[in-house]
Chain A
Amino acid sequence: MSVAVKALEMTRQATEAIVKRAETRFEAHRQEIFRSTDRMFAGLLIAQWLGGIAFAFFFSPYAWAGKVKTVHAHVWIAIFLGGLITSLPVMLAWKRPGETMTRHVIAVAQMLWSALLIHLTGGRIETHFHVFGSLALLAFYRDWPVLITGMTTIAVDHFLRGVLWPESVYGIPNPEWWRFLEHAGWVIFCVSFLVMSCRKSMRDMQVMAERGAELEALSENHWRKSSVVDRAATDAGAR
């Protein structure tokens, strides 16, 4: 084998090693983001649950009939339905952090919390902002399919409520046929920019991983060379 071919082969092997190292670094970084975001959402979901219960206890503790009171349905809804929504994603974030299914279940649960909070606050228009806040938080994963899951959950919720109870979605009992397009348009507007941001963020992470891998390889190479020189110097000194 000629020296040139040998040098080429060595370069190819070195490049492959760097690519492999970059992939490992990229995947480790991604996993770190997925796991830390899973943990963040587990905390947020529990906080929303406790907040929902506290809100129900404070603003609608009792239903009344004359002077006779009973615990209001909102309290039971916040405890049991809120607990049910929170249970699976928190369990997955705890037992299976970083897995694809975990973050998709979290996306569904977070959007369901938007719907539940809208109910608990009596349909206040301000609570509807929770939907857009949640989409922004889901972008922390930097994994755009998670945003699609979140958006689909809202779409299904809007479709079903639009059929059963249009006032709760559109604010009026008999909305124009195109009204759903207006709502969907704003969600798509928000999600499309978040998807772009996630994709850009992933590309940046890849570049960072490649640069890191190159630096690591260079530094290892340097260390190998310097250790050979050091060893030769030590041997020469010993003689």
Chain B
Amino acid sequence: MTPRALAGIAVAWVLAVGAGFLALTIYKLAPAPAAAVAQVWPRDARVARARDRATLVLFAHPRCACTRATIAELAELMARYHDRLEARVLFLAPRGAAADFTATDLWSSAGRIPGVTVARDEGGEEAARFGVATSGEVALYDASGKLAFHGGITPARGHEGDSFGRRRIAALLEGGRADRNDAPVFGCALQDPEPTRLAHADQISNKQEER
């Protein structure tokens, strides 16, 4: 192989690797669509709200790898603000999934954080009540039940580290104000993809017709 050909291969390699990292960065920074989170604590919510302090609700998919970073960030928040905050982590238990669907390392990691209560969200009903559709979405309600913040607490998809979300929650808990009350959220969808939901709906309607 001539030195010129070798140099050409090296340049092509650098460009291909650069393109790969660029694609990876774009993927990691692509947030989920913004959610219309309930502005006040839903009356029919099954999860209990603290009356004397803020309550943070984290909706999580028990098998979403990206949510591992969210749990780590939640642990950071709770270590710092455990006296001003109570947290609930609701793990999705989809209808028709195996009983042990939520028995994952994420469940046990979240359960080990002091000040955090972990529960199953059967069929994603609670997530629907709060208007949340993405794993890793956090909703922070003040003691009166008003929404103070919603969004993600990681800087990117499945990436630990300081983030706008974590900073805004910290600012709200410390001084009651933040520059914004939302942040991008990165994680798996809590609902089945559209075609599956449609197929499922078809199956149900076919069964009803058969009856």
B16 contacts across to A, CB distance below 8 A: 84
Q: A65-B191, A164-B25 are in contact. Are A60 and B158 (CB under 8 A)?
A: yes
* Across-interface contacts of B21 in A (CB, < 8 A): 81, 112, 115-116
Secondary structure of the A side of the interface?
helix
Tell me whether A173 and B162 are in contact (CB under 8 A). Answer: yes
User: What residues on B are CB-neighbors of A116 within 8 Å?
Assistant: 21
A237 close to chain B: CB less than 8 A: no
* Nearest opposing residue in chain B for A60, CB measure: B65
**Interface presence of A77 (CB below 8 A):** yes
Q: List the A side residues contacting B63 at CB < 8 Å.
A: 62, 64, 69
User: B113 interface residue, CB < 8 Å from A?
Assistant: no
Contact A173-B69, Cβ < 8 Å, known A85-B17, A88-B13 = no
Q: In the bound complex, do residue A63 and residue B13 qualify as a contact, i.e. CB atoms below 8 Å apart? A: no
In the complex, which range does the number of interface residues on chain A fall in? Answer: 35 or more
Q: Does B192 contact A (CB under 8 A)?
A: yes
Other-chain residue from B68, B190, B192 in contact with A122 (beta carbon distance below 8 A): B68
Q: Which of B39-47, B94-102, B141-149, B202-210 contacts A (4 or more CB under 8 A)?
A: B94-102
Give the Cβ gap from B123 to chain A, nearest Cβ, in Å.
10
What are 19 sample pairs from A and B whose C-beta atoms fall under 8 A apart?
Answer: A63-B66, A65-B189, A65-B191, A67-B96, A80-B20, A81-B17, A87-B13, A88-B9, A101-B6, A112-B21, A119-B24, A119-B28, A122-B158, A123-B161, A164-B29, A167-B161, A168-B155, A168-B156, A171-B162
Interface residues of B (CB under 8 A from A): 1, 6, 9-10, 13-14, 16-17, 20-21, 24-25, 27-29, 61, 63-66, 68-69, 92, 94, 96-97, 101, 124, 135, 155-156, 158-164, 167, 188-193, 196
Sample of 6 more A-B contacts, CB < 8 Å, known A64-B135, A73-B27: A66-B124, A67-B94, A77-B24, A88-B9, A171-B161, A173-B162
Binding site for B on A (CB under 8 A): 59-69, 72-74, 77, 80-81, 84-85, 87-88, 95, 101, 105, 108, 112, 115-116, 119, 122-125, 161, 164-165, 167-168, 171-173
